Amino acid sequence: MAHVLIIDADAAFAQLVAGIAEGLGHRASRAGGLTEGRLLADDADVVFLAATLPDGNGVEAMPGLRALPGQPEIIVTAEGGDPDGAERAIRHGAWEWLRKPLPADRVVLPLLRALDYRARLPAQRPSSRLKHSIVGVSAAIRRCLDVVAEAAGSDAAALVTGETGVGKELFARAIHDNSPRAAAPFVAVDCASLPRSLAGSILFGHRKGAFTGADSNRDGLVLQADRGTLFLDEVGELPLSMQKMFLRVLQEHRFRPVGGRTEITSDFRLIAATNRDLEDMAERSTFRSDLLYRMRTVVVSIPPLRERCEDVTALAGHYLPRIWARFALPEKDISPDFHETLLAYHWPGNVRELIHTLERAVLASQDAPKLFARHLPDYLRICLARAAARNGAAATAGLAGLAGFAGLAGQAGLGGPSCLYGPGQAPVGKAATDTTDLTGTTDLTGTTVTTGPHTAVLDMAGPELTRHATDDARRPPDSLGETPGTSGNEPAAQTPHAAPTERTAGTGAKCGTGGPGAPPGWGPRAPYAIYTSPHYAPPPERAAAPHASTDGGDGAARAAYSRHDTDGTMSDAQQALQPHCFPGELPRFFDFRDAQFAAYLRELMRRAGGDIRAACDLSGLSRSHLYDLLRKHGVSPR
């Protein structure tokens, strides 16, 4: 007897599904929200999950449900059509996406098929039989190892994707070592370092006299991989001319050496790896789409280390004893602040950076019997210190990150390292206790932010952000520069450098969050959030007009950016884009650029109403490229 859990606020629908499940001889449970549902989901086999719930977003809660020991199959139900929600649900592992209202047969068939699938699952996970040296305890790594086990059981081409330093070659070797070809060679080719003039000779070999210096026959790497595995590392760097040659080699497993007259057969299994978006490259015609289709029969997508923070401690525990042994040093105790600092950092270099950081810490500790955070590299500690300072100031001031790119309303998430605080959360402390319901937008000079029950006047010019809150903020301002709750004769608090302007906020994110319901993994990415500051205003030439407008096609929004008003004055949009004086130190170029990227993406999603398709039309970006940018810059798609 299986356990069917229905998490849905619609009592009639929950009763319908429960009745069907019980009629089939199974146990049914009902929950009206995510909180109650999580308590009942431990032993569930199938979960009917509503996409929208009173206490959260069902689709974004799927990874947590899928990570439960029972790994239930999840059938998502939703009111109305939401193609992007359906796509996210499938990416999170949904069994099916169903649109309400549903007839009984549309409930019964997915339920029966999911239960049939569950009944035929093997007793052990496929990854439990793998031989590998991959370290990780997170649910994301377990899912990757399951895919590795699937790939190892066949000769199908495999594509391993992930950022630099996540260990793509390690996963490729795990596929090879657990395949029937384990005893044959594993030949790795670094496509990024292949000389264009010699790429054909290196890959396919050459015959004596084929070119100057070819004084003997030489076998290429493709032939050396005969009966084994050919691993193309950074395949996105392969020249287009070589991509065309490889297309036939993959299909026929035959090739002709440079200067040769006859074709040679090589029985190899292809595994490729890349840190680039090959689908986007194919759309831009910089990578052959037909080659991509042949390479991605099995895809292993390795998440970055910042998205699986529980693996940081496991990796440190694995590599530290090896580092001590290699440097002939005794084992050392580890201070709690050492672990806390490792967890707080965002690791842009992923596992590779972590290993070298641990080596540096061990060397810096010298004869000390214990490792402290003080032994970690200065750049890492400075990065976290800046994040803590910025987050603390933002929480005190009621900011939510870079919310006010050139005065444009938007929701932002200025968070520190998401591993420590969670996606988009500000540090919890004294500075953050007075920020409840502080939402809104901010100007980039001196700003009064009207946020419902509170009003915050921000001093943006000094080295610190100052907050002056008043509870009498419900009356709208009488004039520019007047704070709600003050009379016209009582000027608002001003900064020493600029007169404050006032903007009334609409609905916004709570302070320190990435917007309402920011999905897991879409919180602010630390490298961009750490140096993001309200001081970093874009110059007019960088804050160009949007690609298209969402105002019904009349072009009014675009015109606001491109012309002066008829009376010779500038429009509101142009005034907002005037050059801004940077108080104090000039920001670093790349930090400034990334802050603008993030602000543009937030404004793009606001104008598109959270619709990915509309955002693609507005920006000219492909869907995959847009998703990649949103994740990279910590912007919620909703």
- pLDDT, one tens digit per residue, over 137-157 is 888 898 899 899 999 989 999
pLDDT recorded at residue 589: 77
**Which tens digits make up the pLDDT trace of 241-272?**
888 888 888 888 999 888 888 889 999 999 99
Q: What stretch of H or E contains 618? A: helix 612-619
Q: Which of 605, 182, 127, 144 is nearest to 412 (CA)?
A: 605
pLDDT recorded at residue 185: 94
How would residue 563 be classed by pLDDT, with cut points 50, 70 and 90?
A: very low
Cα dist from 62 to 38, 51, 72, 524, whole Å: 11, 10, 10, 20
Residue 529 has pLDDT above 90, yes or no: no
Q: Which of 483, 482, 485 is nearest to 474 (CA)?
A: 485
Residue 595 has pLDDT above 60, yes or no: yes
Q: How much is the pTM?
A: 0.59
Residue 499 has pLDDT above 60, yes or no: no
pLDDT recorded at residue 582: 59
What's the rounded mean pLDDT across residues 553-580? Answer: 43
Domains of the chain: 3-119 (3.40.50.2300), 139-301 (3.40.50.300), 306-376 (1.10.8.60), 386-539+579-632 (no CATH)
Q: What stretch of H or E contains 392? A: helix 378-397
pLDDT recorded at residue 128: 62
What's the mean per-residue pLDDT of the chain?
74
What's the rounded mean pLDDT across residues 69-92? Answer: 87
Sheet containing strand 298-301, strands side by side: 186-190, 229-233, 269-274, 158-161, 298-301
**Which has more pLDDT, 362 or 475?**
362
How would residue 71 be classed by pLDDT, with cut points 50, 70 and 90?
A: confident
Note the maximum CA span of the chain.
Answer: 94
pLDDT recorded at residue 160: 96
**Which tens digits make up the pLDDT trace of 403-442?**
333 333 333 333 333 343 333 333 333 333 333 333 333 3
82 vs 517: CA distance, rounded Å: 17
**Which tens digits make up the pLDDT trace of 188-206?**
999 988 888 788 888 898 8
pLDDT recorded at residue 421: 36
Q: 172 by DSSP, 3-state: which?
A: helix
What's the rounded mean pLDDT across residues 525-550? Answer: 36
25 vs 337: CA distance, rounded Å: 53
What's the rounded mean pLDDT across residues 196-220? Answer: 85
pLDDT recorded at residue 482: 40
pLDDT recorded at residue 343: 93
Residues 6+ positions from 95 with CB-CB distance below 8 Å: 46, 73, 74, 75, 110, 113, 114, 117
Residue with tokens 């690609």: 547
Backbone angles phi, psi at 492, to 5 degrees: -70, 160
**Which has more pLDDT, 592 or 482?**
592
What's the rounded mean pLDDT across residues 212-226? Answer: 88
Which tokens is 569 given?
């004055």
pLDDT recorded at residue 584: 65
Residue 597 has pLDDT above 60, yes or no: yes
**Vertex 416: Cα angle to 595 and 457 (nearest 5):** 70
**Which tens digits make up the pLDDT trace of 335-393?**
999 999 999 999 999 999 999 999 999 999 988 999 999 999 999 999 999 888 887 64
Tell me the three-class secondary structure of 246-278, residue by residue: HHHHHHHCEECCECCCCCEECCCEEEEEECCCH
Residues 6+ positions from 538 with CB-CB distance below 8 Å: 405, 406, 577, 596, 599
CB 401 within 8 A of CB 532: yes
Which tokens is 173 given?
């070797």
How would residue 124 be classed by pLDDT, with cut points 50, 70 and 90?
A: low
549 vs 529: CA distance, rounded Å: 28
